[in-house]
Structure 1
Amino acid sequence: MTFDDAGFGGADGSRYLPIAEHGLIGDLRSAALVGTDGTIDWYCCPRFDAPSVFASILDADRGGSFELAADVPTRTRQFYFPDTNVLITRFFSTDGVAEIQDFMPVVDESREAGRHRLIRRVVCARGTLPFRARVAPRFGFGSEPHTVRLRPHEAVFESPSMALALTATVPLERDGVDVWSHFKLLEGESAVFALDRVGGDVTPRSCPRAEAEDQFAATVRFWRHWLAGSRYHGRWREMVHRSALLLKLLTYAPTGAIVAAPTTSLPERIGGERNWDYRYVWVRDAAFCVYAMLRLGFTAEAEAFMGFLSERGILRGGGGAGGGAGTGDTGPLQIMYGIDGRSDLPERELSHLEGYLGSAPVRVGNAATGQLQLDIYGALIDSVYLYDKWGQPISSDHWEEVGAVVDWLCDHWDQPDEGVWETRGGRKDFLYSRLMCWVAIERAIRMANRRGLPADLTRWQRSRDAIYRQIMRSGWSAERRAFTQSLGGDLLDASVLMMPLAKFISPNDPKWLSTLDALGAELVSDSLVYRYDPEASPDGLRGAEGTFSICSFWYVEALARAGRVEEARLAFEKMLTYANHLGLYAEEIGPTGEQLGNFPQAFTHLALISAAFNLDRTLG
């Protein structure tokens, strides 16, 4: 598929920027995508999982946007202010150079936190440049009508569910229910737009130029102070730190939850149906994030996530579809939760939105909450183990909760499930699910032994060993000379790359080296890794997909651990070239190198951190 095939550059593609042509800003409560053309085309307020107010990335006509750009032909360049999540979009013309500084001030739990202020500061650095702005919110994913009240430098947009106030240091004009502005800046001049959520005791408040400059400096200080806590000093500092900043940006400060991505329904295949809502807390993704954060020395984020699990009773099974440890078809935990810990995330389709480049349906909510994915227990208990080891020793109450989960797992590990890839083609005996059940029980045994904690070790060890033997006997295909996707099967799956990473098998075991060769021959394309072949292994959905970026980083780590260090380094360096101009990744990489799927994705960036850390250690 070429970019023309996908719609980029054509009559339809001119309405949509490529997914990769965006940066992300946020305030640890919500986030916005800013295109390289200066348009905010995705913003949910006041939370990651709230209905959108700007969603033109999902429907150029009905989604709503905040356009801000030079009003003459220009070249643009977008970058982050060093070591921050403050985004700069610079415009170059024959008459001048100017830039938009986009950021959201990070505030505490005071009343100002409810403002969710988004600041767009335009600064002319050289010559003179005319600008145009158009602010066209579309509330409730473009389904709610709204009105606008206008004064010369202030507009208040009101819908049944929310009100937003736009203040500006330049005059605003009305166009129906939208507002616009044309203005010119001379060298050294600036203009400021501030968008606030208002209502209750949060009232419209202007953002003078001096205040915007102060807020810019304060936001830069916040991010730099946070990043200074990193212990990473390896070869790929810039990419690792950008990934860390992204993971922090996807953290919901009020609860410590970590969302999988800030977007919904960006397609895994242009024109396909693989479009999902990722604005929630996947137990697996968030647990792996804890590992990445702990590796870098950010123990506060790991502690906050542990608090999220504990305070909302998630470790006890509170809110899960099963209703408690040992009950229900899906076990004590759901695979995902809302950022406030809620368990009910009903999936529905927004038929009034055409989808990115016509890729319908647009979905909100996620029906995968009802799936059984046994691997989540391994990811979760491994993160608890690492936090207990590198952060703070877990409490006695936490240990009781861990023990109850492990006891449940000892009774339920030997059953088919939907698996790590959330297939919708029926349950199977996935090897990866068995592997992570082994991880859960093995890490719990380690904790019990290291700290002398009470546990039914005889039972736990018996279950752990039974899982190991089953994988080695039924998960190995003598014909393929490889570990396979499911027990007794012969299909390959990139998820088995986790076997040496999870310390289940030696990275130099002959069976593993043979598996690594088989994966390289069948699922790897110039260092990029497909997760499986959907034609050979139907997953209940139509169409092919791109390479899966987390699998590409797992492959790097598996190569390094197997002693194929130069090959691992080359694969890693190649993978870095597929990031966008800001160092950000979506979920997948398409046939022509384009980013596909929700963007940016935590899963990919946490795998980058792990691969960089372990490759650094191997290279010495």
Structure 2
Amino acid sequence: MPLQLTMNASNPAAAPVGEFNSAYPDRYLPIAEYGIIGNLHTTALVSVTGSIDFMCLPRFDSPTVFGRLLDADVGGFFSFSCVADDTKNKQLYLPGTNILITRFLSEDGIAELTDFMPIVDGERDFAVFRRLKGVYGHHRVKFDLQARFGYGKRGCIAEKNPEGRGYLIRDPEGEQPTMLLLTDAELEITDTGLRAIIDLHQGDNIDFILTLNEGIDFDLDWMQCFTECRKYWTTWSKKCRYEGFWKEAVLRSVLTLKLLTSARYGSTIAAATFGLPEKMGGARNWDYRYTWIRDAAFTMYAFLRLGYTQEAEHFMDWIRDKCMDHLQLMYAIDGETDLEECTMEHLEGYRGSKPVRVGNGAHDQKQLDIYGELIDTIYLYNKAGGSITNKFWTSITKLVDYVIVHWRDEDHGIWEVRSGKQRFLHSAVCCWVAIDRAMKIAENRSLPYPMAEWRKVRDEIYTEIYDGFWNEELQAYVQFKGSDTLDASALLMPLLRFVSSQEPRWLSTFQAIEEKLSADVLIFRYKLEHGATDGLEGDEGAFAICSFWYVECLARIGQVDKATVVFEKMLGYANHLGLMSEEIGLHGEQLGNFPQAFSHLSLISAAFQIEKKNR
């Protein structure tokens, strides 16, 4: 159990940056020490010590109102903490839900904090419900709400609600909506927000509802809202088709993917956060609160596998409405295409990791793999009984026409390198996938298409990959044509059905990846040698998605027992709630934005593959 941490220690600016436990250990909790709640429009990260340290309002990609995760001084937070010095904490989800319980355990007894967001139709109908419960004994609990609007650029103005119960928390510049805190507790208004010391006795239930001063009136019965929220999540969870050995891990993963999916638009964000580092003190700190075509396509595959066809249908509606005329790498959740990247210079970054970026400069990169990943998902959607109208099919054929013209082009690849374009292996494989899956859709639906032309180009791509991306010296397929760099994305070749899992050249590649890109069960994306660069400074951790690809490959080549052990060891890198960020660092810590859709969807896929081989 983690010790309660002091979050207002003096600034250790003179301490070295970039080491796991050096400069900021008492001002920032580990990334893994958080749970997530949400309402399908936005999310909040709740620490194991009971503090909301990250929340954007009113939607995923809005500015933060609480952002202590990215700056302990000016980020803002909404916390409860027991005054007792010996307090320890535990955290859990109610099974089959995204309702989070944080427990405070001390010599004084047991206190409990329950957190959830009601599931609502509109973004402005936002609320966070927090109940402080005295389970046993008497506790003195410190309440502290310090909102910081506009990514921490502005403080807040707190005042009594002149029109009724509770307190208003205003943005001084009025750019973000005014929040309303509903509670019967007496709070002190300060220059930074609201605070109090609460005497909590056994049997007490003290409720706090943080909502907006517009939209739905949440001055309701707390238990009624709790029951409705719990019923929503348990009903949704019961639809999950996976009944294998790792159901708990799979269910937690798909519940997390659901939290990252917009109820309004059907689009799915890559992760809940921005700015969390891939290395402490490093510069690889990206904004992942957007819809990557690749990530969303893989997420829909996970939903379809588990029986959640409604989510896939909603996403297809979004694709048809927003993307088919001109496919871009990533979008805002509402389909906006301009995601200009800028840095938040006023934020020190998680444990001093700067720059903190908002927006994403990769939004206009050319990445040819997205065509294959999208059309592969449409193919699976079609297999699941989805509708392929004439208009939709015409749009799909235009994507294939683009691939036929441009498949030889250089691009930035699946990892979005910033060192220039190359002929990347994975992009070439996905161009093959785009044509192959479109042909299968056409054959299944008896739709018109230029069979001879598509088949000719598909076969040309196959031949070029088989011979042109093979490195005889390494006895492996390499990252891009003419390189000597191994890349874990080659693990996807049999998963995308480009090659058999028994293909000798691919098996040789698999062995090379095992030997050179692994640390036990951890798999790195690539390792640059001989002065090569990907356009960014610093290194990174192992990617969870690559490790789960590795598990799938082991199962496919018949090493099911080894796949099972690797999979279970990877589950051990998840946090206490079963959540995973993007990467696992060399100290075993979680790194990168959190929780990460890529990690959870690949976990689901790996679990399915092992179960399939065990039948």
- Structures share fold, TM-score greater than 0.5: yes
> Offset at 1:150?
2.4
Moved over 4 A (4+): 3-11
Which runs of structure 2 are paired with 1:288-303 in the superposition (5 Å)? 288-303=298-313
What SS does the corresponding residue of 1:307 show, helix, strand or coil?
helix
Is 1:601 the counterpart of 2:596 in the alignment? yes
Q: Do 2:84 and 2:108's aligned partners in 1 also have CA atoms closer than 8 Å?
A: no
Which runs of structure 2 are paired with 1:363-402 in the superposition (5 Å)? 363-402=357-396
Is 1:439 the counterpart of 2:452 in the alignment? no
Separation in 1, partners of 2:412, 2:436: 22
Corresponding residue number in structure 2 for 1:610: 605
> Offset at 1:370?
1.2
After superposition, the C-alpha distances for 1:461-481 in whole angstroms (9 at most, x for unaligned) are 111101100000111112111
Which runs of structure 2 are paired with 1:297-446 in the superposition (5 Å)? 297-312=307-322, 314-317=323-326, 333-446=327-440
Separation in 1, partners of 2:50, 2:157: 25
Corresponding residue number in structure 1 for 2:108: 95
Number of aligned positions between the proteins: 594
Corresponding residue number in structure 1 for 2:225: 215
What SS does the corresponding residue of 1:385 show, helix, strand or coil?
helix
> Offset at 1:165?
1.0
Corresponding residue number in structure 2 for 1:168: 183
Separation in 1, partners of 2:156, 2:110: 36
> Offset at 1:9?
5.6
> Offset at 1:169?
2.4
Q: Residue 30 and residue 11 in structure 1: after superposition, are their counterparts in 2 closer, same or farther (change >3 A)? A: same
> Offset at 1:489?
2.1
Q: 2:206 aligns with which of 166, 169, 191?
A: 191
Corresponding residue number in structure 1 for 2:67: 55
Corresponding residue number in structure 1 for 2:280: 270
Corresponding residue number in structure 1 for 2:9: none
Which runs of structure 2 are paired with 1:116-131 in the superposition (5 Å)? 116-131=126-141
After superposition, the C-alpha distances for 1:139-171 in whole angstroms (9 at most, x for unaligned) are 000113432212696221111212111121211
Corresponding residue number in structure 2 for 1:324: none
> Offset at 1:295?
0.5
Q: Residue 7 and residue 216 in structure 1: after superposition, are their counterparts in 2 closer, same or farther (change >3 A)? A: farther
Is 1:32 the counterpart of 2:32 in the alignment? no
Is 1:582 the counterpart of 2:606 in the alignment? no
Corresponding residue number in structure 1 for 2:473: 479
Separation in 1, partners of 2:579, 2:16: 23
Separation in 2, partners of 1:125, 1:249: 29
Q: Do 2:158 and 2:190's aligned partners in 1 also have CA atoms closer than 8 Å?
A: no
Q: Residue 602 and residue 473 in structure 1: after superposition, are their counterparts in 2 closer, same or farther (change >3 A)? A: same
> Offset at 1:129?
1.7
TM-score by length of 1: 0.94
Uncovered stretches (5+) of structure 2, i.e. residues with no partner: 1-14
Separation in 2, partners of 1:9, 1:167: 39
In structure 1, give the amino acid aligned to 2:43. A
Q: Residue 8 and residue 477 in structure 1: after superposition, are their counterparts in 2 closer, same or farther (change >3 A)? A: closer
Cα RMSD after superposing both structures: 1.6
After superposition, the C-alpha distances for 1:312-371 in whole angstroms (9 at most, x for unaligned) are 2x1121xxxxxxxxxxxxxxx110000001111111001000000000001100110110
What SS does the corresponding residue of 1:149 show, helix, strand or coil?
strand
Separation in 2, partners of 1:612, 1:202: 40
> Offset at 1:538?
1.2
After superposition, the C-alpha distances for 1:561-588 in whole angstroms (9 at most, x for unaligned) are 0111111111111111000000011000
What SS does the corresponding residue of 2:160 show, helix, strand or coil?
strand
Separation in 2, partners of 1:227, 1:457: 42
Q: 2:80 aligns with which of 48, 68, 71?
A: 68
Q: Do 1:261 and 1:599's aligned partners in 2 also have CA atoms closer than 8 Å?
A: yes
> Offset at 1:10?
5.1
Separation in 1, partners of 2:325, 2:50: 46
Corresponding residue number in structure 2 for 1:551: 546
After superposition, the C-alpha distances for 1:501-548 in whole angstroms (9 at most, x for unaligned) are 011111011111111111100001101100001345410001111001
Q: 1:105 aligns with which of 118, 126, 132?
A: 118
Is 1:525 the counterpart of 2:519 in the alignment? yes
> Offset at 1:202?
5.7
Corresponding residue number in structure 2 for 1:329: none
Of all paired residues, the percent bearing the same amino acid is 47
Separation in 1, partners of 2:446, 2:354: 54
Separation in 2, partners of 1:311, 1:393: 15
Which runs of structure 2 are paired with 1:462-473 in the superposition (5 Å)? 462-473=456-467
What SS does the corresponding residue of 1:258 show, helix, strand or coil?
coil
Separation in 2, partners of 1:550, 1:8: 22
Q: Residue 21 and residue 370 in structure 1: after superposition, are their counterparts in 2 closer, same or farther (change >3 A)? A: same
Separation in 1, partners of 2:385, 2:349: 43
Separation in 2, partners of 1:44, 1:561: 41
Uncovered stretches (5+) of structure 1, i.e. residues with no partner: 318-332
> Offset at 1:184?
1.5
